[in-house]
Structure 1
């Protein structure tokens, strides 16, 4: 199932990032995805970024994942993606899941419309003991969509500037960051807003947008799974690193309208970060 590539005409685009909780019950997850798609459509959104592990849920423990309680692993052609595509119709939707490739499992994401799949990504950077549950991906690649050229990151990927930079150099105008990002597991704060990971989550979103002069659409899970508390904080960030819309810690949709190409051109009018790099100096 591969979609026809097309480019959206210049002008304002409404973009939505979701904060919501997802677990192991696939029927329940599909129902929630459908409601979020309906809500984004009612807001006029052309792009919706759902959280990491929206299909099947995330791990319950990052330090000692239980091998017998991992998310269900789905093949890339599993019929569940046809169901999501049917709900998406003309909307571009990014959604996270656990991908099966033979005996290997990947924390993965797919971007699709009702016409088919536009792009895929496997999480490259695995934190803590996530390597017990998943193998690491090995590539970052942008792809064309009806809302412009898009790239995807999953969770910990956005901690590393090289991840978003690689996508920006591949022409990505929009980077979708799909997360199941929890509060600190070593130094929990009494309130999520005071948590160290809460601050870093926002910092990375804004920094990746500003340093590459692109749009970042950041989704995240909410609620709890096992010993993990998820932060929420879905947001849309402009190419100056400015937060255009956000959900804070609660479930919901962050929706912003902007002329993606126009905002990027304006941000790069004088300072063009990608063109002004000195890669020959950065090499060891």
Structure 2
């Protein structure tokens, strides 16, 4: 497959779907101009995230879209030859999910519903129940949303399903209970980077981490989009400002090099792990 240019976006998105689509179109065009083949947009790029995570107001939730929504089809058309991952609020029957799709001009390649939910989110969304990788023109990809990446089992499930690239789409805020005076000193800022690097290194995969910026209600988002190599090394990042972190990676070679001496997936001792399910 050779070298792939991967882009992870840090940007702000709100409730105005037309504005969000215009911003997505601009980001895709900028990424295309930089030669990006895989672009990972943030969680809730269509419609924005919750304004209050502790007590979500049911009157001001993000607009819910069905998976075959014309707006998602429009993003697929904009993607054309590129692979684009984008987060949205999915309407399915009477339920709402914090969800993501991965698309090209041919349509949806993969879909994920956020499995792990912080306490307040259960009032706004139902939970997904699976992790699955899928094939794309840039290799086998799996997606995580926000809090999913806090749990090692999430990314490990994708790696065991053959994912070479893990796309982590986030609307990850600064600490709600103990916000630091400077974002760089915030506990959640440190954890966001730590989880990205750990999930890549422990599974020896490439990880593309996007995030929202700016504020929504009482939520202030971190940014810190990045591309991480299979050794846990940050290859490109945006810090706290909006932008696209772009890294050029020979994914297959990078993974093969990381696993040449220690292959974490192959060297697991499954029989020794106590089951806690």
Deviation sequence 1:217-247 (CA, Å, 0-9, x none)? 0000000000000000000000000000000
Match of 2:195 in 1: 204
Deviation sequence 1:236-275 (CA, Å, 0-9, x none)? 0000000000000000000000100000000000100000
Give, in whole Å, the separation in 2 of the partners of 1:80 and 1:188: 35
Give, in whole Å, the separation in 2 of the partners of 1:82 and 1:109: 13
Q: Partner of 2:59: helix, strand, or coil?
A: coil
Give, in whole Å, the separation in 2 of the partners of 1:116 and 1:228: 32
Q: 74, 78, 93: which one pairs with 1:87?
A: 78
Question: Offset at 1:129?
Answer: 0.8
Give, in whole Å, the separation in 2 of the partners of 1:153 and 1:243: 18
Matching of residues 153-168 of structure 1 within 5 Å: 153-168=144-159
Structure 2 unaligned spans of 5+: none
Q: Partner of 1:60: helix, strand, or coil?
A: coil
Question: Offset at 1:88?
Answer: 0.5
Match of 1:267 in 2: 258
Matching of residues 189-228 of structure 1 within 5 Å: 189-228=180-219
Give, in whole Å, the separation in 2 of the partners of 1:112 and 1:101: 19
Matching of residues 162-177 of structure 1 within 5 Å: 162-177=153-168
Question: Offset at 1:279?
Answer: 1.3
Deviation sequence 1:162-193 (CA, Å, 0-9, x none)? 00000000000000000000000000011111
Give, in whole Å, the separation in 2 of the partners of 1:38 and 1:194: 34
| 1:27 maps onto 2:18 in alignment | yes
Give, in whole Å, the separation in 2 of the partners of 1:42 and 1:30: 18
Match of 1:3 in 2: none
Q: Partner of 2:62: helix, strand, or coil?
A: coil
| Aligned length, in residue pairs | 275
Report the RMSD for the aligned CA atoms in angstroms.
0.5
| 1:68 maps onto 2:59 in alignment | yes
Match of 1:243 in 2: 234
Give, in whole Å, the separation in 2 of the partners of 1:185 and 1:265: 40
| 1:124 maps onto 2:124 in alignment | no
Q: 128, 134, 138: which one pairs with 1:137?
A: 128
Deviation sequence 1:147-176 (CA, Å, 0-9, x none)? 000000000000000000000000000000
Give, in whole Å, the separation in 2 of the partners of 1:74 and 1:205: 28
Give, in whole Å, the separation in 2 of the partners of 1:146 and 1:67: 39
Give, in whole Å, the separation in 2 of the partners of 1:283 and 1:74: 40
